[in-house]
Amino acid sequence: MKTAILLLGHGSPSKEANESLERTAAMVKLAGGYDLVKAAFMEFGKPDIQTGARLCIESGAEKIVFMPYFLYMGAHVSKDLPAEMEEAKKKYPNVRMIMTDPLGEDPKLAEIAVKRISKAVTGQQSSVSRNFRPDGIEKESFRIIDEALRGYNIGELEYPVVRRIVHTTTDFEYAASMRFSKGAVQAGVDALKKGCSIVTDVDMVKSGILQSYRNTLGIEVFCHISDEGVIKEAKEKGVTRATIAMRKGKERINGGIVAIGNAPTALYELIRLSKEEGIRPALVVGMPVGFVGAADSKEALAVGDLNYITNKGTKGGSTIAAAAVNALMILADEEKSRLMATK
């Protein structure tokens, strides 16, 4: 079922204000890996909500999720927007339509507010920024992490990967839940030193892999999840786009690194490609997230014969997979630099 997300804003006479919601819609599409995300407006902006719903349906949507991009449950959210959705339902009775809660109260919004306030009051981003230079902040963060990780039994080669994941997430649970096959880290580093390809399951993983180290090591990163042919084939075969994306990337996967941070189906397909078609990546960073399939797919990876970096349980995500790859790229760059220095 093709799902469209309709991001609902109030609308403004200011063109720039309306374009801001359109940019947000693009970011939501990228972050969520959704088929289709559009912005629509109650007034002033175009398209209006009814037109937005129609455009979604004309693009093949069989389900529309209306997302009020409003802070609170005021009259617009409690009355006006539900009325708009009911009107759309009458026009398109065969299309399923649901509405989410508004942005509402969320700790992340509070964090954004603190940043804005701090910048206005002090001209700086935070109290930490007043006390440390940017490089000092990272240095102090890693000092805190190193102190906390002393009680964990982590191998010398694996430590930089775990350290960077904890730094990225501020979650020390990863120190206990990370799993590495024997020689996995070195296998990944060796492949990166040779300039191997990296294939990711979603664009968010690709975006999180540091461009500076891609350039230094001559690495190309590929993600096929949004390719038109992948979308079409997945729909025709009734499977996930992540599954077809892995199939499309299999030539680059052979001898390369695969970083999966979202879709368990991508990991299952990669395991199948290895068993049935002989596709052998140098390393699999398998960190899919979620309550359905994530833990089981990681377990299937761990009991197989591929080099892997993964973790136990439902946790994971694009930022975690990217952090692991970044740690490997840093190690590869350091090894190349040491080798150059000895010549």
Active site residues: 167
What is the C-alpha separation between 12 and 17, in angstroms, rounded?
6
341: tokens are 């220095």
315: tokens are 């946790």
At residue 175, what is the residue type? Answer: A
Residue 301, helix vs strand vs coil:
helix
* Centroid of chain to Cα 289: 10
* Centroid of chain to Cα 160: 21
Cis preceding linkage at 107, omega within 30? no
What is the C-alpha separation between 316 and 308, in angstroms, rounded?
14
The 10 Å Cβ neighbour count of residue 218 is 11
What is the C-alpha separation between 191 and 197, in angstroms, rounded?
9
Q: Kindly report the CA angle at 293 between 290 and 297, in degrees rounded to 5?
A: 115
Residue 115, helix vs strand vs coil:
helix
Query: CB neighbours of 123 closer than 8 A, spacing ≥ 6?
Result: none
115: tokens are 């940043």
Bridge pairing between strands 221-223 and 96-99: unpaired
The answer to whether the beta carbons of residues 316 and 289 sit under 8 Å apart is yes
C-alpha Rg value of the chain to the nearest Å: 23
